[in-house]
Chains A and B, each alone.
Chain A
Amino acid sequence: MLTFVVRRTLWTVLVLFVISVLVFFIFFKTPGVDPARAIAGRNASPQIVAEIRAQFGLDRPLPIQYLLMMKSLFITRNLVSYSNQGVLVVPEIGAAAPATLSLVFGAAVIWVIVAIAMGIGAAKFRGRLLDPLLMILALIGISAPVFWVGQVANLISQGGLHNTPLFSWVPALGYTSLGQSPVLWFKGLIIPWITLSILYIGFYARVLRASILEIQNEDYVRTARAKGLSEQRVLLRHTLRNSMITFVSLFGLDFGALVGGGAILTEVVFNIHGVGFLTYEALISLDLPTIIATVVFGAFFIVLANTVVDVGYAWLDPRVRPT
């Protein structure tokens, strides 16, 4: 167990290092990027630009600059945004995280429940009408881009039908924190949740269906039937339990990626100021400190999710447990 923790920690450090280095150097090698000029503003005189360059340490060699940035990101935690003067990046991400977590958690609950139901339904009704129907629906869900679905949902609920009883309950776009008003929190997130989960529902339903159909042919499922168990028990305790191994490992990775900023499109479309939204703004204004910080934040969650998946995997499948 201790070796596992140590190995994972070292692994995390390595991943964060590589990713931050990559982002850092790609940023400075991008043609036309000059942070000093960006900070100084459009009409700044060359002297001011040079002053800012010296003040932010932008005239020093890149490796030094990298180390300084890492120091202020991880140790002193006083990394300042280039584009929003005086805004500290680390607390900004901390403030954005609850919105992202709320969005992703809710969507994950919906997508896991619906995908399991659809996967089981399709597998159970294989060869009948329901199966291809559900799978076509899933394919549509996978094919529909999330920003498009989100915009359509906004058009309907905020525009055309907002004044009908059907959608009059929908609050204006934006995020209300759970502490502030649980009801508003829920109302404001329900449409983003559904929007974000559609892609994953389609994908996970298809994966689960395929996995169930594969596991159904396993000898131990036949054994379970020969034991005299009910069809329901055979399906839930024997087939589904083994099918969930694939499902859970995929889920961990997707969940980690979304918490780490992968819900960027949904957040932008619904004006939810989460980590993805922050990344989006930072990218538009070429705000390197925020970009680096959000990317490192995202990478951290992906690595963390990976670790959780490994633990969950061992919990689900005794064959991979260390003995």
Chain B
Amino acid sequence: MAEPLLEVRDLKVSFRTEDGTVRAVDGVSLEVAPGETLGIVGESGSGKSVTMMSVMRLIIDPNARFEGEVIYKGRDLMKLSQDEIRAIRGEGIAMIFQDPMSSLNPVYRVGWQIEEQIRAHEKVSRQAARARAIELLDAVGIPHPAQRVDDYPHQFSGGMRQRVMIAMAVSCRPDLLIADEPTTALDVTIQAQILALIKKLRDDFGTAVVLITHDMGVVADIADRIAVMYAGRVVEQGSLRGLFYDAQHPYTWGLLGSIARLDRPRPRRLTTIKGLPPSLIRLPEGCAFGPRCPHRFDRCAEVPPLTDKLGDGHLDACFLDPEQKKERRDRAIRPDLTAQQDLAVPQDLRPEPELTAGWEGGVDQ
């Protein structure tokens, strides 16, 4: 791996609340190489957004406590002054957010908002900044950019607003783009367009991307490497291939198993991960996933370290023996292969479930 562009080392973020200390991020280490796309996957509250917001130092809360290092181009972002971090925000590291409806200021024209970012980092005239804003709007696929540049955010649809956000984020050609669930609030058809756009800009500008999502389908499309987070910790990290074809952590299996697949026989019911994510105030002893894990055994009472068990750069935090895992994983992810009777009967002869409406992939009958 090349010299990383961004390196998060043992980052811990906690919030003091009335009920106790919330350990939102509990010792996360990540690396992003220049031009690389890292996907961070996990359910709500797993600390993925907090991690990247902390990188940008965007968490402004007197009750928050930060530990660890965030090295960007050889400098520890956690130690920079307000002025220094401000120079990096938007210029070196840019960010787009989940909800394009509320992420743009409603009282300013979109062009003005893009110009504002350009002029915050570069000494250019208003006209030049405006010309760049129009170019950028064009680049992100907004029709009639020369007219639309003077429109207000409420005159754009959700997908178009996210395009504006992206145009703004790439306006200073950042080295790293952090996309925090950029497609979650959008229609499925628009999601694909936005992802394609991020991919295109990444390739055009050579920008590294950190894509935060809870959707395995989204990262499969775009990421080079994936980190899976659970309860404030990274539980598995590896290449896209490694993660999808050789997942090592039972939590990842659960995520993979819960994807509705069109290319496989339809399961009677989608697999789910039983239980709820743990409270970040009182994490369970040992492996945080333990209480929900069907494969839990004695050693799980200790916190499993994130280690490279096979020497191939694929990290996971699980004590199960890699050999033992294979069969268990297949049962978790491919119930269609392990449930033999399902395969023996040709698909069209299998009895239909009585009621499929409302299920994933179900048809109203």
A: residues with CB less than 8 A from B are 127, 218-220, 222-231, 233, 237-238, 241-242, 245, 316-319
Contacts and interface: CB of A to CB of B under 8 A. Distances in A.
For the complex of A and B, 6 pairs with smallest distance between CB atoms: A228-B90, A228-B89, A219-B102, A220-B105, A227-B117, A318-B152
B193 interface: no
B266 interface: no
Given A226-B56, A226-B89, A242 B105 contact: yes
B94 A229 contact: no
B97 A219 contact: yes
B105 A318 contact: no
Contacts of A318: 106-107, 152, 154
Residue of B97, B99, B105, B121 with highest tally of chain A CB at under 10 A: B105
Interface in B68-99: 82, 86-91, 94-95, 97, 99
Contact of A229 (B60, B103, B116): B116
Given A316-B107, A317-B106, A318-B152, A226 B62 contact: no
Interface residues of B, number: 29
A228 B97 contact: no
B106 A222 contact: no
Given A127-B62, A222-B97, A226-B58, A319 B106 contact: yes
Q: State the majority secondary structure of interface residues on B.
A: mixed
B86 A228 contact: yes
B120 A223 contact: no
27 contacts: A219-B97, A219-B103, A220-B104, A220-B105, A220-B106, A223-B104, A223-B168, A225-B89, A226-B56, A226-B89, A226-B90, A226-B94, A227-B89, A227-B94, A227-B116, A228-B88, A228-B91, A228-B117, A229-B120, A237-B116, A238-B105, A241-B107, A242-B105, A242-B107, A318-B154, A319-B152, A319-B154
Nearest to A316: B107
A220 B102 contact: yes
B107 A227 contact: no
Contacts of B107: 241-242, 245, 316-318
Contacts of B106: 220, 242, 317-319
A219 B162 CA distance: 13
A233 B117 CA distance: 11
Interface of B: 56, 58, 60, 62, 82, 86-91, 94-95, 97, 99, 102-107, 116-117, 120-121, 152, 154, 165, 168
B105 A227 contact: no
A226 B172 CA distance: 12
Contacts of A319: 106, 152, 154
Contacts of B104: 220, 223
B90 A227 contact: yes
Contacts of B89: 225-228
Contacts of A218: 102
Contacts of A220: 102-106
A222 B96 CA distance: 10
A126 to B, nearest CB: 9
A127 to B, nearest CB: 6
Nearest to B165: A223
Contact of B120 (A228, A238, A317): A228
A219 B99 contact: yes
A225 to B, nearest CB: 6
Contacts of A238: 105
A245 B105 CA distance: 13
A156 B95 CA distance: 59
B123 to A, nearest CB: 14
Given A218-B102, A220-B104, A242-B105, A227 B58 contact: no
A233 B121 CA distance: 13
Given A223-B103, A242-B105, A230 B95 contact: no
A223 B94 CA distance: 10
B72 to A, nearest CB: 14
Given A219-B97, A222-B58, A319-B154, A227 B103 contact: no
